[in-house]
Amino acid sequence: MAKLTLPAAELMYSGHSACPGCGAALSMRLLLKGLGPRTILSIPACCWTVIATPYPTTALGVGVLDNPIEATGASISGLRAAADALGYKDLNIVGFAGDGGTADIGLQALSGMLERRTNAIFVMYDNEGYMNTGIQRSGATPLGAWTTTTPVGPTSHGKSESKKDIMAIVLAHNPVYAATLNPAFPEDFDKKVEKARDLPGPRFFHIFAPCPPGWKFSSEETIELGRLATDSGIFPLYEVENGVYRITRKSGSLKPVAEYVKAQGRFRHFTPADTEALQAQVRSGWEHLQRMEAETRPTGVPELTKPAPRPIPVPST
Amino acid sequence: MARIVISGNYAQSYAAKLARVDVISAYPITPQTSTVEKLAEFVASGELPAQFVKVESEHSALQVVVSASALGARTYTATSSQGLLLMHELMHWASGLRTPIVMGVVNRAVAPPWNIGADHTDTISQRDTGWIQFYAESNQEVLDTVLMAYRLAEDPAVRLPVMVTEDAFYLSHTVEPVDVPEAREVDLFLPKRDARAVLVPGMPGRVGSFTGPDHYVEFRRELAKATERVIPILQQVEEEYGRVVHRYHGGPLTTYRVEDADAVLLTMGTASTTARSVVDEMRAEGQKVGLAKLRLFRPFPTESIRRLAGEVDRLGIADRSFAFGSTGPVETEVSAALYTAPHRPALSGFFAGIGGRDVTPGEIRRMYDALLHGGPTENRWIDLEEQEARAHG
């Protein structure tokens, strides 16, 4: 069995109130492992408002400030300004928002924070919908997916629009670091967190956070689905450091998205044509990403030849 | 102590500088802009070693200072009208998180139609957000009140946000001589913030959180109790400010020539200055009139109003806004305060100075005449009546 290199310290405790198999809960656990206890989180209205447990308890071993759903970017600018004014050193300031609180209602404050070059990390944990309110569509819901506000019926066939490209929006602001993270790949996840932790300036994580009740899959399949998402190109893993793209997991040929689609009830109504439409989007996204990696590769630096990624075994219980 | 000639907006900036604020955040809006421009100058010149976070909206401006305050910083922001309305959700957050923010607000009319004149609708709309609200009459009062606001806001028994308002243009852009206290005097009165119940780096804890009905009521009751402690603590704060800076503004409600008055008019903000001169004129003519100036609208000084009511038989209230579907907001408060009072004067409410309309001596006199010689005027929208009177020569 491969040896995990993740930090041993736990800053997220048992007793939290996440659903079984919650990708957002795994993401928080891994994030805090990489960041350590000198971290202050600002959390808007989202699943994590509830997961962190009600007053007077907390499931987190760090300081947490609640903020309204649209204001996370501003909140972390304020926390950083206070930390600087009061002389707090080595403090990680982190906004931890859902996809709605980042890419929809939170977009203005996120843009403001990036433009101001706030020295903080903005995390979007992407469960691809308004899950805390009961599975409504968001800008981050993928094309064709069923939600309670994009039902399937005679005049409606799931979400008719494509997923909003939050990474492109963020990258247009030239952050010092932006990356996609997937808790199904904990070592890649942790490497990115630890790398970003020590970079000064605005940083952004787009985290893939599967939602069993929202996506309609069985809670023990979260990791499997997460791996499939990356290996099919639905959620490629990459990082962009000062404009330079690097794909952090290349698994040769992509698996067909049909496997990913079949694994979730929210795509149950998909026709072969729907799957093909999604496949076409994935293909062009993957090609674009490879192009960006090639185009932004610093001159004179050859592409790293990496050994084939080694699967991390899931301990059997 | 240095006497300088400055606008109400600059009085805000000088006060924030003297308060040695740690974090400032603001978004520009007419007529607030010169306050934050001056603060930007203070920060740029190194005179004020603060973090100035320039944001993309008022909503974010208030969130920045809420979060900075939650980490223990002393904070300042300023806005007006539409900007304040955009902040509304955060207004509740600021008081609910018990962050002792001080905010300057220039009272400006609310659109539509667009209008940048003086009007109290913007701050009155924030009545129930848990903020302490002061209305200033002069630039001197602006400066002194902002400094006192920090002491009040940060008092461990209060821990509430405070807004100090000034009428658009009459104060925001009108220069007056202002005595600016020395930094060492202010430092004696206002030491560094004693930050409690804030986020501490390295310590687990949650500021905000969520609760069911099991704890929520307790949080709201604590907030209510904090507002109930404001008026007695304000008295201590004013006395201490007086000892150090030698100026005293007279508590939440100040009166002028109300002894033996047949009629008293209650005003907020700059209308008070005009009314005071009308009182002098009318007194010289032998008419027994007086003035009450309301400085503190939230929490509402019920006891002071009752004491005043015990001395007069006719009380007029000049509101610089109108609560649609009801009447003047200050009139409503006064009525409620007097319902159980042993002596209840006849009340007349007027709406004057809406949307930057001048509250002229003639208008004030019209209100006193209505109080002295019968019931309310037919048209309580005094601005309109004045317009009509002028039109008919």
Residue B18: per-residue pLDDT: 98
Q: In this structure, what token pair is assigned to residue A240?
A: 């962009």
A305 pLDDT band, cuts 50/70/90, is low
pLDDT, one tens digit per residue, over A202-217 is: 999 999 999 999 999 9
Name B255's Cβ contacts closer than 8 Å, sequence gap at least 6. Answer: B264, B290, B291, B292, B293, B308
CA distance B87 to chain A (A): 11
- Chain A contacts of B63, Cβ < 8 Å? 67-68, 71, 74-75, 78, 109
Q: What is the C-alpha separation between A205 and A237, in angstroms, rounded?
A: 11
Q: Which residues does chain B have within 8 Å of residue A109's beta carbon, measured at their own beta carbons? A: 56-57, 59-60, 63
Is the Cβ pair B207, A65 closer than 8 Å? yes
State residue A317's pLDDT score.
44
Chain B positions touching A88 (Cβ under 8 A) are 71, 201
Q: Is B207 on the interface with A (CB under 8 A)?
A: yes
Whole-number Å distance between alpha carbons of A35 and A89: 14
What is the pairing mode between strands B263-267 and B289-294? parallel
**Quick check: A67 and B72 CB within 8 A?**
no
Point out which residues pair with B7 in neighbouring strands.
B175
pLDDT of residue B387: 72
Q: Which residues are CB-neighbours of B119 under 8 A, at least 6 positions away?
A: B107, B108, B109, B110, B168, B320, B321, B353, B354, B355, B356
∠ at Cα B262 (B260, B264), nearest 5°?
Answer: 95
Per-position pLDDT tens, chain B of length 393:
899 999 999 999 999 999 999 999 999 999 999 999 999 999 999 999 999 999 999 999 999 999 999 999 999 999 999 999 999 999 999 999 999 999 999 999 999 999 999 999 999 999 999 999 999 999 999 999 999 999 999 999 999 999 999 999 999 999 999 999 999 999 999 999 987 768 999 999 999 999 999 999 999 999 999 999 999 999 999 999 999 999 999 999 999 999 999 999 999 999 999 999 999 999 999 999 999 999 999 999 999 999 999 999 999 999 999 999 999 999 999 999 999 999 999 999 999 999 999 999 999 999 999 999 975 555 789 988 767 777 776
Long-range contacts of A13-19 (CB under 8 A, 24+ apart): A13/A59, A13/A60, A13/A61, A14/A59, A15/A53, A15/A57, A15/A59, A16/A51, A16/A52, A16/A53, A16/A59, A17/A50, A17/A51, A17/A53, A17/A59, A18/A47, A18/A51, A19/A211, A19/A212, A19/A213, A19/A219
Asked whether residue A303 carries a pLDDT value surpassing 90, the answer given is: no
- For residue B8, give Cα distances in angstroms to B178, B271, B289, B357: 9, 15, 29, 19
pLDDT attached to residue B377: 54
Report the 3 state secondary structure along chain B: CEEEEEEHHHHHHHHHHHCCCCEEEECCCCCCHHHHHHHHHHHHCCCCCCEEEECCCHHHHHHHHHHHHHCCCCEEEEEEHHHHHHCHHHHHHHHHCCCCCEEEEEECCCCCCCCCCCCCHHHHCCHHHCCEEEECCCHHHHHHHHHHHHHHHHCCCCCCCEEEEEECCCCCCCEEEEEECCHHHHHHHCCCCCCCCCCCCCCCEEECCCCCHHHHHHHHHHHHHHHHCHHHHHHHHHHHHHHHHCCCCCCCEEEECCCCCCEEEEECCCHHHHHHHHHHHHHHCCCCEEEEEECEEECCCHHHHHHHHCCCCEEEEEECCCCCCCCCHHHHHHHHHHCCCCCCCEEEEEECCHHHCCCCHHHHHHHHHHHHCCCCCCCCEHHHHHHHHHHCC
How far away is chain A from the Cα of B52, in angstroms, using its nearest Cα? Answer: 8
Task: Locate the chain A residue with the closest alpha carbon to B27.
Answer: A112
Question: Is there a contact between A78 and A40 (Cβ–Cβ < 8 Å)?
Answer: no
Please name which of B131, B55, B82 lies closest in space to residue A70, comparing C-alpha atoms.
Answer: B55
For residues A109 and A73, the answer to whether their CB atoms sit within 8 Å is yes
From B195, which residue of chain A is nearest by alpha-carbon distance? A86
**Given an 8 Å threshold on Cβ–Cβ distance, is B204 in contact with A70?**
no
Mutating which of A77, A79, A107, A132 best tests the B interface, going by the most B Cβ atoms within 10 A?
A77
Q: In Å, what is the CA distance from A151 to each residue of A216, A247, A251?
A: 14, 35, 35
User: CB–CB of A75 and B51 under 8 A?
Assistant: no
Give the distance from residue A107's alpha carbon to the nearest chain B alpha carbon, in angstroms.
11
Q: Which residues of A touch B207 (CB under 8 A)?
A: 63-66
Per-residue pLDDT averaged across A68-92, rounded?
A: 97
**% of residues, chain A, pLDDT over 90:** 91
Q: How many Cβ atoms sit within 10 Å of the Cβ of residue A38?
A: 15
Read off the tokens for A62. 């760090």
Query: Taking a C-beta distance cutoff of 8 angstroms, is the pair B351, B367 a contact?
Result: no
Residue A293's pLDDT is 97
- Cβ contacts (< 8 Å) between B57 and chain A: which residues? 108-109, 112
* Chain A residues touching residue B198 (CB < 8 angstroms): none
- pLDDT > 80? residue A311: no
pTM for the model stands at 0.95
Domains in chain B and their CATH numbers? 2-196+207-245 (3.40.50.970), 253-391 (3.40.50.920)
A111: which chain B residues are within 8 Å (Cβ-Cβ)? 56
Give CA–CA dist A240/A247, Å, rounded. Answer: 9
Is residue B109 within 8 Å of B119, Cβ to Cβ?
A: yes
Which domains does chain A carry?
A: 23-296 (3.40.50.970)
For residues B31 and B106, is the Cβ–Cβ distance under 8 A?
yes
Q: From the list A40, A49, A58, which residue is nearest B199 (CB)?
A: A40
CB count, 10 Å around CB of B362?
Answer: 14
Residues A234, A183: Cα–Cα separation, whole Å: 15
Residue A251 has a pLDDT of 77
Question: By the CB < 8 Å criterion, does A244 face chain B?
Answer: no
| CB-CB under 8 Å, A78 with B53 | yes
Closest of B168, B169, B151 to residue B237, by C-alpha:
B151
In this complex, the residue of B67, B201, B202 whose CB is nearest that of residue A75 is: B67
- For A257-261, what is the mean pLDDT? 98
Tell me the pLDDT band of A312, cut-offs 50, 70 and 90: low
A115 touches chain B (CB under 8 A): yes
* Tens-place pLDDT, residues A180-205: 999 999 999 999 999 999 999 999 99
Calpha distance A86→A97 (Å, rounded): 26
CA distance B271 to B253: 15
Nearest to B212 among A54, A66, A85 (CB): A54
- Chain A hits for B202, CB-CB cut-off 8 Å, are 37-38, 63
Q: Which residues of B touch A13 (CB under 8 A)?
A: none
DSSP state letters, A230-250: HHTTSS--EEEETTEEEES--
**Contact (CB<8Å) A62/B51:** no
| HEC string for A24-88 | HHHHHHHHHHHHCCCEEEEECCCHHHHHCCCCCCCCECCEEEECCCCCHHHHHHHHHHHHHHHCC
CA distance B27 to chain A (A): 12
Return d(Cα A194, Cα A176) in angstroms, integer: 14
Q: What are phi and psi of B89, to 5 degrees?
A: -60, -40
A40: chain B residues, CB-CB within 8 Å: 71, 199, 201
Strand partners, B349: B317
Are A86 and B71 in contact (CB < 8 Å)? Answer: yes
